[in-house]
Amino acid sequence: MKFLSLPFVVRNLEYSVCPWTGDLLVVERECKKNQVTSSLPEKVKIALALCDNPYRLKKSEGNMNTELIQVKWVKFTKKILTFFCSLNFLLARKYSDIKGIYFSDSASAINFFYSITPSYQINKLCLARALFAAKTSSAFDKEGVIFIGAFLPSRSMHAWVIEKGSQPDARDEIWHQYRPIAAIY
Amino acid sequence: MREMKSGINTARSLQYTNFLMRLEQANLSFFNTKSGLLQANIWSELDSGCWKTAQFKIHETNTLNGVLNRANMVSLLPDFVPLEAGQRWNHLEKRIEEKLLQPKLLKSGLEDFLCKSKAFFEKFHNKHIAVQLSGGVDSSLIIGLLKFFGIKHSLIGYYNRRYEFRTESYIQNILADDCGDAILINYEDHLPYSGLLNAPPHQYPDMTCCGLSANQAMASACHDAGIEILLTGCGGDLALGEKIDNEKCMWIPAIFNYSWFQDVVYTPNKVTLVSFFSDTDILECLWNLRMGQKFDPKKIWARNFFQSFLPRELVEYTYKADFWGLYIDGLVNSLPEIRFIHKRAYEFSENSYFEDAKLHRMLQSDLYNCDQQLYQRLEARISSAVWINSLASHSCS
C-alpha cells in the first residue's frame, strides 16, 4: 500500500504525518499552498471528496459471516497488527501490505475487530483497526483508502477508512472532526 | 444571507459601558446571610468593598461541579448568596432551592407537542423573532416548527470555515437560503476568551463571560436588525438526549436561558433571549413523549420523531462538530489580554489568588490537549479576574 502525504497549511504552520513514525509534524512554512486535489490518484480523490462532504456518504452495513472466518488466524493477525502499531508505524504498514483476505469488505472486518477487542482499548486502536480492515478486506484494494487526520489546532490524531462510498466503521463517531493529512491506499 | 465583519461591536460596547455603571441584573438577586433578607442587588456593598472578601478558590470548585449542580454551590462572598433565575432561598433549611420541572404524567403525541409549541410561539405575537442558527438538531427543529406554523422569523448565527464545522455549515446554508433573512457572524472574530476587557461591571463572577465577545456581537447584530426575541435551542441536549425514567425530574428550565448574558449583554440591546426548551409546557410534553427512554446523546429519537420538521441530512446522519478547536485558538490568541486582566486583578485586589505564578503554572500545561478540567479551572480564574476588572474599572472602591 502506498503512503500519500496531504499536508495542510494554516496560519503559516504546515501539518503532516511522518511516513516512518506516524507522528504529527508541525513545521513553520510561509504561505505554502495546500495540495491541489486534482493531482491526486482517482481513488484517493473520490474518498477525500467524501470526507469533505460527509452527507454524501452511503450508510454502511457490515455483515460478519462467521462461517467464512478462520477465527484463529484472524485473531492472530489482529494481535500482531496491534503489537506492530504500538511498536512502529512503518512496520505496521508493511505488515498490513501482506494481504490476508478474510472479509468481503472493511465494514465486516471492523465489526470483527470490535468483537474481539476489549471496550477499554477501542478508542486507542483506530490505526490498528484501519490497517486490519485494509489487510483483510477484499474490497479495500479496489475501493478503499485509509485516512490519517488531525483535529487542529490540537495535536489529536485519528485513522479511519473510506471504502465503497461509505465510512465502514459505524461506531466511529469522531472521524469527521479530523482533517485528512495523509492517505494509505 | 448577510455576513457580519469583525469589529462591529466595538463601538457599541464602548458606548454602553457608562450606561451600565450600575447594571440592573434582573435575573440575579442576593440573600444577605447577616440580615436574613433578600436583596435585589449588592451594588452599594460592592462599592463599600465587599468584593475584597471574595474567596476565589470556591469559585473554582463551583465551576468544576458544573451548572447542573448550581444549588449546591458555595458563595464566594461570605455575606451574600447569589440567587439566579429559577432559584429561591429556603429560610427553614438555609439553603438554595432550585425550581425543578414537575411534569405531570400525560399521554402525549406529536399533536400535543405541536399544540404546546404553537402556544409558545404565540407568546411572541407581533414581535420580531429570530432563531439562533447553529446547524444542529435543536435550532433546526425550532426553525422547522416556525416554518410549519407559517410564523415569520429571521435567522442569526455564527459561522466559521473550520473543517470540523463543515456539516453544521452545510445545514446553516440550507436553512439560511430557505429562510431568506439570515445574518451570519464570523465566529473567528469573536472566539471564546476574547474581548474580556469589554466586560461591563457585574455583581458576581460568571464563567459564561468567556463567551462575551460572541454574544456581544450577536446582541448588537440583533439590535441593528430590530430583532426583539432571540430563540435558542439551549437545553435541547438535555430535553432530547437525557435518560427519562419515572423517578423525579431533575430538569431546571431556568438554566437554559443564559441569564448572565441576558442581563449583561442582551437586555442593554433590547433583545430577549429565550430558549425553546425552557418552556415548561414543552418540556413536560417532551418528558412524557420520551418516557422510559435511555440516554440518547445522538438524539436518534428526536431525529426520527421530528423528521418532517428537519432537513433530511439531520434525520439520516448524526454528525456534531467539536468546539475544542475554537476554544484552544481562542485561549491561545487571548493569552496577552488574559495575563493583563489577571495582573490587574492582583493589583486591585492584592489577593494572593491572582499571583502571576499561579496563572503561569496553569498556562505551562499543554493547552492543545483538550483537557476539560484545565480549561474549566482556567475559566473560573479568568471569570474571577474579569469580575474584579469590571468593578475596579468602574470605581468600586
CATH of residue B156:
3.40.50.620
Distance CA B2, CA B177 (A): 11
Please tell me which of the candidates A57, A173, A177 has its beta carbon nearest to residue B164: A177
Interchain pair A177, B316: CB under 8 A: no
Distance from CA of A175 to the nearest CA of B (A): 9
| pLDDT-derived band at A32, boundaries 50, 70, 90 | low
Q: Is residue B362 part of a domain?
A: no
H helix runs in chain B, sequence order: 10-17, 43-47, 56-65, 110-122, 137-149, 166-179, 212-225, 236-241, 259-261, 280-289, 300-305, 312-316, 324-349, 356-363, 372-392
DSSP element (H, E) containing A156:
strand A156-163
Distance from CA of A112 to the nearest CA of B (A): 23
Q: Is residue B196 part of a domain?
A: yes
Tell me if B77 sits within 8 A of B48, measured CB to CB. Answer: no
Q: Is residue B260 part of a domain?
A: yes
Distance from CA of A59 to the nearest CA of B (A): 9
CB pairs under 8 A between A and B: 47
pLDDT, greater one: B117 or A10: B117
Please tell me which of the candidates B170, B321, B325 has its beta carbon nearest to residue A154: B325
Q: Which residues of B touch A173 (CB under 8 A)?
A: 298, 318
Distance CA B362, CA B60 (A): 13
Interchain pair B319, A176: CB under 8 A: yes
Q: Is residue B110 part of a domain?
A: yes
What is the CB neighbour count within 10 angstroms for residue A123? 10
Interface test mutation site (partner A, options B163, B303, B324, max chain A beta carbons within 10 A): B163
Q: Is residue B90 part of a domain?
A: no
Distance CA B125, CA B1 (A): 25
Identify the burial level of A11 via C-beta atoms within 10 angstroms of its C-beta, where 0-12 means exposed, 13-18 middle and 19 or more buried.
exposed
Tell me if A4 sits within 8 A of A184, measured CB to CB. Answer: yes
A66 has a pLDDT exceeding 70: no
In order, the DSSP letters of A121-155 are GGGGGHHHHHHHHHHHBTTHHHHEEEEEEEETTTT
Name beta bridge partners: B155: B131, B182
Interchain pair B167, A177: CB under 8 A: no
| pLDDT-derived band at A123, boundaries 50, 70, 90 | confident
Residues with Cβ within 8 Å of residue B219, at least 6 apart in sequence: B261, B265, B266, B268, B269, B271
Interchain pair B313, A177: CB under 8 A: no
Distance CA A68, CA A109 (A): 12
Average pLDDT of A104-127? 91
* C-alpha cell, A132: 486490519
Q: Is residue B214 part of a domain?
A: yes
Considering its fold, how many domains does chain B have in total?
1
Interchain pair A152, B316: CB under 8 A: no
ipTM for the whole complex = 0.93
Distance CA B116, CA B114 (A): 5
Interchain pair B368, A173: CB under 8 A: no
Q: Which residues of A touch B370 (CB under 8 A)?
A: 154, 156
Residues with Cβ within 8 Å of residue A116, at least 6 apart in sequence: A75, A78
Interface test mutation site (partner B, options A53, A55, A56, max chain B beta carbons within 10 A): A55
**Three-state DSSP class for B102?**
coil
Chain A segment 47-106 residues within 8 A of B by beta carbon are 52-55, 57, 59
* C-alpha cell, B343: 495582573
Q: Is residue B374 part of a domain?
A: no
Residue A59, pLDDT score = 81
Please tell me which of the candidates B166, B298, B317 has its beta carbon nearest to residue A52: B166
* Domain ranges, residue B168: 102-316
Interchain pair B316, A59: CB under 8 A: yes
Distance from CA of B163 to the nearest CA of A (A): 6
Q: Is residue B132 part of a domain?
A: yes
Residue B19, pLDDT score = 39
Sequential pLDDT tens for chain B (397 residues): 555 444 333 333 333 344 345 677 889 999 999 999 999 999 999 988 899 999 999 999 998 888 778 888 899 999 999 999 999 999 999 999 999 998 988 888 999 999 999 999 999 999 999 999 999 999 999 999 999 999 999 999 999 999 999 999 999 999 999 999 999 999 999 999 999 999 999 999 999 999 999 999 999 999 999 999 999 999 999 999 999 987 788 899 998 988 999 999 999 999 999 999 999 999 999 999 999 999 999 999 999 999 999 999 999 999 999 999 999 999 999 999 999 999 999 999 999 999 999 999 999 999 999 999 999 999 999 999 999 999 987 665 5
Interchain pair B368, A155: CB under 8 A: yes
pLDDT, greater one: A168 or A37: A168
